[in-house]
Amino acid sequence: MADHDILAAGAAIRDQARSWDELADAMARAHARVARLALDSGAFTVVDPAEVPAARGLAEAYAGGSDRLASLLSQAGAEFDRMARALRTAAERYDEGDRAAADRIGGVW
C-alpha cells in the first residue's frame, strides 16, 4: 500500500466523522426547537379550558410527548457525537498502524 493510500483511507474515515458531527449538530438544533415549543390547555379547545377537563389532559399529553421527543433528540445528538469521536480515534490509529507497518516492511526490502 502506497503512502498516499494510507492518507486517503484516514481522510475517508475523517470525512465520515464530519458527517456524524453534522448530524449531531442537526439534532442539537432540533432539540432546541422542540424544547421551545409549548401549548397550554387553551390550544386544545375553543371554549374555556376550565370547562373542558380533557383539554388539560391533552395539554399534559402533548407536554409529555414533547419532553420525550426532546430527550430522544438530545440522546441522538450525544450518540452521533460519540460516533464522530470514535471515527476520529479509529482514523488516527489506522494511520499510525499503517505507517508502522510500512516502516517495518520498508526495512525488509
Cα–Cα dist 54/64, whole Å: 15
Render pLDDT for 1-22 as a digit per residue (tens, 0 to 9). 555 555 678 889 999 999 999 9
Burial of 14 (0-12, 13-18, 19+ CB in 10 A): middle
pTM, to two decimals? 0.75
Cα–Cα dist 47/55, whole Å: 10
Render pLDDT for 37-69 as a digit per residue (tens, 0 to 9). 998 888 888 888 778 888 888 989 999 999 999
